[in-house]
Structure 1
Amino acid sequence: MRITATIRSSGAALAVLAGAQFTVMLATSIVNVALPQIRDGVGLSDGGTTWVVNAYGLAFGALLLAGGRAADLLGRRRVLLAGLAVFGAASLAAGLATSSPVLIAARALQGTGAAAIAPAALALVMDLFPPGPGRGRALGVWGAVSGAGGAAGVLLGGVLTEAAGWQWIFFAVAIGTLPVLVGTVVGVPPAPVTGSGRFDLPGTTTVTLALTALVWGLTTARRSGWTDTTVLGAFAVTAVLLTAFVLVERRHPNPLLPPRLFRAGRVTVGNALMALLGSVWIALFFFLPLYQQQVLGSSPLVTGLGQLPLAAANMLGSTLAPRISRRIGATATVTAALLTEAAGLLWLSRISAHGSYAADLLGPGILIGLGLSIAFVQLTTLSVEGVARQDAGLAGGLVNTSRQVGGAIGLAVLATLAGTATARAAVHQPQPEALTAGYRIAFGVCAAVLLATAALAPLLTRRTATGPSGASPSPAPQPAAGRRH
């Protein structure tokens, strides 16, 4: 009876934590199809419109490491609750915004809350499910809701924009955050604080500013070009700050990124491959809706509905990932998933300006959904495998940072390549054909990146943990009683 009750309790807590991840991914993509309406609603310029997306991604990507470390030191449940409160309030403020500065500031605050939610929720999942099949299934659920959240954002954004106005895309996120907040209070059990030592404020500050400068430079490069003095200045500041971060970390007694983290399991290789996967992931959900709307002429609602097969394939792949991994091994699973996704993107690289959803997007979307979800689940699992319990929040922040920063780099590079190809084609072709030429280049390069990532996947067989294969390091000493989150 007690075991059954524990399983049910863990299942309920997993549902809540998955809901938290779903809201984060939903907020990432829900604005994409509503940008023209948002631009007109608050008086944004074309350049300013991109900051409705960038402000969220900038804060989210830059603060994930800080959010993960705070979860380890202050308590994961406590940080999760604080993040949800900030996230929900910021979503409400975005919906009420009547000016562009208020809207962009609210989106940045929304990203700040998300940077606390994502690593804290992932660390709590790891707390609830020790290494083994149970954790594999839990991370499969995690992957399913991550992909479903991204696709649902496009669908819900289209439905709400047409039916009720762009403000409701933010109100819906705020409303959806409330049951997750209540569910966390009621259904996620408190647990001891596992981290120890002082918060590394100098290291956190320098790496956060470095990531901010990097992501800002990359997003600006999409509009101004790679040789723009502002962009080059941002990259120079990034290099200086990262150098300062390394120097600070060497001297701090409790560094933000302790060396032991990279000696555990497959953390280093897993994060490197996740960054490459992220570079394709975020670009995919950027270019696909543009092709559907600007070339095929689909409405926001039809564009959103077109994401449903991809989302269904994503959820199926996430469910199957742990079973496939147990049967053929983690490395083979990652390799097969990356090759499957690459095949879908190669198919997309043949899209036509006079194509159709059924002929050009349906089949590739299913392949991409299956490959993306399986690769995501496996790389997330491998990136936190073998990490000491005291660093679980930080490991969750790191793998999310790798995906976000990889996505920012990939999107900046691919947007530049697509824009160049479109400009070149526009000299002698109509706009739909010119746009399609740019999108084909973007999808083709995405496929090439995934093929290169698949070639690197065998590196995952090299473990750096000193313990036996599959075993986690010895747990950290238990803190004094009374410190709970």
Structure 2
Amino acid sequence: MSRRQKVVLVLLLGSQFMVAVDFSILNVALPVVGEGLGFPLARLQWIATSFALAAAGFTLLLGRIADLFGRKRLFIGGMALLGLSSALGGLATTPEVLLAARVLQGLATAAVTPAGLSLLTTAFREGPQRDRALGLNGALMSAGFTTGALLGGLLTDLLSWRWAFLINVPVAAAVVALAPALLTDSRIVCRHRLDVPGAVTVTGGLLALVYGLTRAGESGWGDPVALTALVAGAALLLAFRGVERRSAAPLVPVRIMRRRTVVWGNAAGLIAFATETSLVFLLTLYLQEVLGYSALATGLAFGVLGLGTVLGGMLGGRAVSRFGGRATILGGGAVQAAATASLVALGTSGGWIWLVLAAAFVGGVGNMLLIVAFMVTATSGLPDSEQGLATGLATMTQQVGITLGIPVMSAIVAARTGTGAGAAPEAVLSGVSVAFAVNSALVLAASLLAAHRLGGGNRARGRGRGQAGHSAE
């Protein structure tokens, strides 16, 4: 990499790290935030849900807007909005103002993530340099999720929950000040008008889908509101597909959705995010409800998972460059599945913590190998003019996967235990053991299927020869 590329890489990776920190920094502070602003307990989850709805619902649209009107412009605007909305959240005195700030933070994330990723993919040629950059991006984003949880607890205990918002302000200001001089946008070749019907149907569909999944996780899969939202989301996404087939300038061209790298790369990514985020939920249940760990001790235990994902991110780019996206998806999925399957053996004694730590570390490595391979595969073989769309699709996959995993695994645990709060440790262990087995089977099946469907179209680029994804059609 040239010196300028390294500086650009630091700036873009730093912004993605900040977004990842922002995603998780409030999780441990939610009860304190609720007390400070008078949030009713029933509405507390909306602090997280309002962010997730905006981040997932608008990411595909804003990724395509980055292609049409300029990635650099959208990236800088998104970072400015993130700084302003964080200031608003830190100074909020009512629940309504805080929720508005969280929605704006979600919109900013939906702009910054695909725009930043597309700036990253267009700054580095497809091949080993881009693989390494995306691997470092995955490592730092994973580190950001872990850092956010720890930093949120420290700031809340030592200062105030408001600093979980305010810490973003100087970082965002620095990025906005430096980005105009450091970033160069590729010439915009997409001069089409925005596909408004496609934008309305896909954004509405994603909003309904994420809301339905979140509601189902809170109220159960039989909840009428959750089912109505899920049906509405599915109907709108089907309508979006029909709109795109007839549109002269579609938001998502049909030819892109026919590419094996795009379809099966994103399918692998969806399962990777759904299984790993839900695994954290399952391990939280096990550590706190079976072994009796405190929230702080549980958070510290997950530091091992964070170390594993950082290592996986550092190795992921090299693995894709040497073995190809297909082999890395298969290998990473197999490692994650084996580590998760070992957790079925967990018992009720404290000595099993060593298996938890070992499996979390190894599974984290495998999961990040899978995620880096998904990102490289899903963005390979596409021109610079469509990188915003490709990274928007990948970001949407990430957000939906994060939202999907926990409700599904929660339903499995609930079905097995037959009760909610107050379940005996043995009943909770029985439920999470079944969920561990399902989780492992899902990631293994998805990895095998994605590798099979990718076939030879995403071959290894051994030692810099050729480029992945060229025969993905």
TM-score above 0.5, yes or no:
yes
Identity between Structure 1 and Structure 2 (%): 37
Residue 369 of structure 1 aligns with an amino acid whose one-letter code is: G
Question: Higher mean Cα deviation, 260-269 or 389-398?
Answer: 260-269
Question: Higher mean Cα deviation, 327-336 or 391-400?
Answer: 327-336
- How far apart are 1:447 and its partner, in Å? 1.3
Residue 336 of structure 1 aligns with an amino acid whose one-letter code is: G
SS in 2 for 1:307: helix
2:445 aligned with 1:452, yes or no? yes
SS in 1 for 2:382: coil
Contact 1:158–1:300, Cα closer than 8 Å, also in 2: no
Contact 2:139–2:310, Cα closer than 8 Å, also in 1: yes
2:36 aligned with 1:41, yes or no? yes
Structure 1 pair 43–267 and aligned structure 2 pair: CA distance change class (3 A): same
SS in 2 for 1:191: coil
1:212 to 201, 207, 231: 207
Contact 2:133–2:317, Cα closer than 8 Å, also in 1: no
- How far apart are 1:71 and its partner, in Å? 0.5
Hey, what does 1:305 align to over in structure 2?
300
Hey, what does 1:64 align to over in structure 2?
59
- How far apart are 1:301 and its partner, in Å? 4.4
Hey, what does 1:51 align to over in structure 2?
46
- How far apart are 1:20 and its partner, in Å? 1.5
Question: Separation in 1 of the partners of 2:285 and 2:151?
Answer: 16
Question: Separation in 1 of the partners of 2:170 and 2:224?
Answer: 42
Contact 2:119–2:185, Cα closer than 8 Å, also in 1: no
Question: Separation in 1 of the partners of 2:284 and 2:171?
Answer: 24
Structure 1 pair 120–426 and aligned structure 2 pair: CA distance change class (3 A): closer
2:467 aligned with 1:470, yes or no? yes
Per-residue Cα deviation, 1:434-454 (whole angstroms, up to 9, x for no partner): 444444343332212111112
Residue 470 of structure 1 aligns with an amino acid whose one-letter code is: Q
1:364 to 350, 359, 363: 359
Question: Separation in 2 of the partners of 1:442 and 1:157?
Answer: 29
Question: Separation in 2 of the partners of 1:472 and 1:310?
Answer: 30
Hey, what does 1:120 align to over in structure 2?
115
Question: Separation in 2 of the partners of 1:360 and 1:45?
Answer: 38
Contact 2:211–2:229, Cα closer than 8 Å, also in 1: yes
Hey, what does 1:241 align to over in structure 2?
236
Residue 247 of structure 1 aligns with an amino acid whose one-letter code is: G
2:144 to 138, 145, 149: 149
SS in 1 for 2:167: helix
1:137 to 120, 132, 139: 132
Residue 455 of structure 1 aligns with an amino acid whose one-letter code is: L
Residue 221 of structure 1 aligns with an amino acid whose one-letter code is: A
- How far apart are 1:380 and its partner, in Å? 0.3
Structure 1 pair 351–46 and aligned structure 2 pair: CA distance change class (3 A): farther
Contact 1:131–1:472, Cα closer than 8 Å, also in 2: no
Residue 125 of structure 1 aligns with an amino acid whose one-letter code is: L
SS in 2 for 1:387: coil
Structure 1 pair 425–393 and aligned structure 2 pair: CA distance change class (3 A): closer
Question: Separation in 2 of the partners of 1:40 and 1:289?
Answer: 23
- How far apart are 1:366 and its partner, in Å? 0.9
User: How many pairs are equivalent?
Assistant: 465
- How far apart are 1:216 and its partner, in Å? 0.5
Q: Which runs of 5+ in 2 are unaligned?
A: 460-464
- How far apart are 1:339 and its partner, in Å? 1.4
Question: Separation in 2 of the partners of 1:406 and 1:305?
Answer: 24
- How far apart are 1:176 and its partner, in Å? 3.1
Question: Separation in 2 of the partners of 1:472 and 1:327?
Answer: 14
Question: Separation in 2 of the partners of 1:227 and 1:43?
Answer: 30
Question: Separation in 2 of the partners of 1:156 and 1:42?
Answer: 21
Residue 388 of structure 1 aligns with an amino acid whose one-letter code is: P
Hey, what does 1:400 align to over in structure 2?
395
Hey, what does 1:196 align to over in structure 2?
191
Residue 252 of structure 1 aligns with an amino acid whose one-letter code is: S
2:312 to 308, 313, 317: 317
Question: Higher mean Cα deviation, 282-291 or 181-190?
Answer: 282-291
- How far apart are 1:336 and its partner, in Å? 1.4
- How far apart are 1:419 and its partner, in Å? 3.1
Question: Separation in 2 of the partners of 1:216 and 1:196?
Answer: 33
**TM-score, normalised on structure 1?**
0.88
Contact 1:155–1:304, Cα closer than 8 Å, also in 2: yes
Question: Separation in 2 of the partners of 1:173 and 1:286?
Answer: 26
Residue 467 of structure 2 aligns with an amino acid whose one-letter code is: G
Hey, what does 1:440 align to over in structure 2?
433
Structure 1 pair 118–70 and aligned structure 2 pair: CA distance change class (3 A): same
Question: Separation in 2 of the partners of 1:345 and 1:78?
Answer: 42
Question: Separation in 2 of the partners of 1:88 and 1:434?
Answer: 45
Question: Separation in 1 of the partners of 2:92 and 2:234?
Answer: 36
Hey, what does 1:180 align to over in structure 2?
175
Question: Separation in 1 of the partners of 2:215 and 2:225?
Answer: 8
Residue 119 of structure 1 aligns with an amino acid whose one-letter code is: P
Hey, what does 1:92 align to over in structure 2?
87
| RMSD (Å), alpha carbons | 2.6
Contact 2:139–2:313, Cα closer than 8 Å, also in 1: yes
Contact 1:87–1:110, Cα closer than 8 Å, also in 2: yes
Structure 1 pair 208–101 and aligned structure 2 pair: CA distance change class (3 A): same
Hey, what does 1:171 align to over in structure 2?
166
- How far apart are 1:393 and its partner, in Å? 0.3
Question: Higher mean Cα deviation, 181-190 or 361-370?
Answer: 181-190
Residue 267 of structure 1 aligns with an amino acid whose one-letter code is: V
Structure 1 pair 323–72 and aligned structure 2 pair: CA distance change class (3 A): same
Contact 2:312–2:368, Cα closer than 8 Å, also in 1: yes
Question: Higher mean Cα deviation, 347-356 or 114-123?
Answer: 347-356
SS in 1 for 2:255: helix
Contact 2:377–2:469, Cα closer than 8 Å, also in 1: no
Residue 252 of structure 2 aligns with an amino acid whose one-letter code is: L
Q: Which runs of 5+ in 1 are unaligned?
A: 1-5, 474-485
Contact 1:157–1:304, Cα closer than 8 Å, also in 2: no
- How far apart are 1:352 and its partner, in Å? 4.2
Hey, what does 1:268 align to over in structure 2?
263
Structure 1 pair 290–31 and aligned structure 2 pair: CA distance change class (3 A): farther
Hey, what does 2:381 align to over in structure 1?
386
Structure 1 pair 426–123 and aligned structure 2 pair: CA distance change class (3 A): closer
- How far apart are 1:265 and its partner, in Å? 5.9
Per-residue Cα deviation, 1:311-331 (whole angstroms, up to 9, x for no partner): 222222111123223443332
Hey, what does 2:462 align to over in structure 1?
none
